[in-house]
């Protein structure tokens, strides 16, 4: 199975900061990567699909990049509602795997 | 409006069985692949199983293969997860999700809680 790692596992930042989260796949997955946001007690919400495509309705401050094994999620200017846990997800081989998550907290 | 409503969760003893259901509405159910994803208390997300729109293709994660079976009834707009030989580590909130979960247009239900405990 393809393994996904994320860094950092947790992050503290101020409102207005630019934040980057990285995700690495154990083998090449082309651009078959998505990013999810999850708030406490809520279902996950898709932010980015195909590594860099913004899901409809998601603010443009969110962006994704990368291909093959290395990917990033960037939030250009953190807003109070962005404090949540973020997961990457690969779906290259019909056996999707999530990264362990990055918890983004207010500093 | 797309709606996915999971049910069937509850408390079950180790070694026991449970069948989860997901009732879909607001879209053409037979046109979409479907998934189960779970989340243990305080832990991350884990994909469990997926099924093609016709039901002909099924995939299960390593941790549940041979114990869980995904199925669907397109006439009833319903998705199922039959769980057998349950373990304490299967305790989780089980979500139903529409479509490839890494693709645009995915939708999620609110989940049903499964607790495996003696």
DSSP label at residue A40: T
* Contact criterion met (CB below 8 Å) for A90 and A1: no
Asked if the model's pLDDT at residue A30 lies above 90, the reply is yes
Q: Strand, helix or coil at A22?
A: strand
Which tens digits make up the pLDDT trace of B1-57?
999 999 999 999 999 999 999 999 999 999 999 999 999 999 999 999 999 999 999
Contact B95 A38 (CB under 8 A): no
Query: What mean pLDDT is predicted for residues A39-43?
Result: 96
Asked if the model's pLDDT at residue B85 lies above 90, the reply is yes
> Looking at chain A, which residue has its C-alpha nearest residue B4?
A43
Contact B59 A98 (CB under 8 A): no
Report the 3 state secondary structure along B53-98.
Answer: CCCCCEEECCCCECCEEEEEEHHHCEEEEEECCCCHHHCEEEEEEE
Looking only at the bridges linking them, the beta strands covering A33-38 and A85-90 are antiparallel
Residues sharing a CB contact under 8 Å with residue B76, sequence separation 6 or more, in sequence order:
none
Residues of chain A contacting residue B45, judged by C-beta atoms under 8 Å apart: 36, 38, 44, 87, 89, 98, 101
Which tens digits make up the pLDDT trace of A80-98?
999 999 999 999 999 999 9
Which tens digits make up the pLDDT trace of A60-84?
999 999 999 999 999 999 999 999 9
Dist CA B24 CA B107 (whole Å):
11
> Looking at chain A, which residue has its C-alpha nearest residue B105?
A55
């Amino acid at each position: 199975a393809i393994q996904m790692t994320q860094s950092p596992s947790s992050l503290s930042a101020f409102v207005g900061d630019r934040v980057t989260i990285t995700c690495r796949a154990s083998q090449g997955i082309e651009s078959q990567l998505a990013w999810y946001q999850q708030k406490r007690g809520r279902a996950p919400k898709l932010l980015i699909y195909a590594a860099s495509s913004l899901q409809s309705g998601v603010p443009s401050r969110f962006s994704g990049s990368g291909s093959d094994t290395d990917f990033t999620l960037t939030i250009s200017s953190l807003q109070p509602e962005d404090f949540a846990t973020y997961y990457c997800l690969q779906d290259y081989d019909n056996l999707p795997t999530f990264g362990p998550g990055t918890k983004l907290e207010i500093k | 409006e797309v709606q996915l409503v999971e049910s069937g969760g509850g408390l079950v003893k180790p070694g026991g069985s449970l069948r989860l259901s997901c009732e879909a509405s607001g879209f053409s159910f037979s046109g979409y692949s479907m998934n189960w994803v779970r989340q243990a208390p305080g832990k991350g997300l884990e994909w469990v199983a997926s099924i093609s729109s016709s039901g002909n293709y099924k995939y299960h994660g390593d941790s549940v293969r041979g114990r869980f079976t995904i199925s669907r009834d397109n006439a009833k707009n319903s998705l199922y997860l039959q769980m057998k030989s349950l373990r304490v580590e299967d305790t989780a909130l089980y979500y139903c999700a529409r479509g490839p979960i890494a693709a645009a247009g995915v939708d999620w239900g609110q989940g049903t809680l499964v607790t495996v405990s003696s």
